[in-house]
A = this chain, B = another copy of it.
Amino acid sequence: MVDILHRVGVESSSPEKVYDALTTLEGLSGWWTDDTTGSTETGGVIAFRFPPGGFDMEVVDQRPGEAVTWKVVEGPEEWVGTTVGWQLRQDGEHTIVLFKHQGWREPVEFMHHCSTKWATYLMSLKSLLETGVGAPAPRDVHVAFPD
């Protein structure tokens, strides 16, 4: 079992503001993909769509200002059944975002790609919160092809 792990520190924000960006359609569409629909309630399913395809995430757990956990219920074969987790905390001037995409069965090349791509989306989340402007798809940072 191999995981994708990341961390960013967001300036001039708070765990509550980051939590909003992870748990509302407006927030999610500001950093991950314009085409975000569905239910962000616990037990709901959020549909994230990108030009090449997309993911449906079930909202497994949400603790305001602290943590969010999604489970992938539709999407690329390698993603289905994996979990995406976010942990938030304040550390001085920064809101620390710990990210884990867990449950990959094999460290396939697609996983390498997704790891780099997640990093650019975390930077997009950081930018959204710090400047008001993220880089969600289709205005995302391209790391390879197709992405």
Residues of A within 8 A of B (CB): 2-9, 93-94, 96, 98-100, 107, 109, 111-113, 115-116, 119-120, 122-123, 126, 141, 143-145
Contacts and interface: CB of A to CB of B under 8 A. Distances in A.
Nearest to A147: B9
A119 B7 CA distance: 11
A7 B94 contact: no
Nearest to A104: B5
A109 B98 contact: yes
B94 A112 contact: no
B6 A3 contact: no
B112 A98 contact: yes
Contacts of A5: 2, 4, 107, 111-112, 115
A144 B2 contact: no
Given A5-B111, A7-B112, 11 more contacts: A2-B5, A4-B115, A6-B112, A7-B113, A7-B116, A8-B116, A9-B144, A94-B145, A119-B120, A120-B123, A122-B143
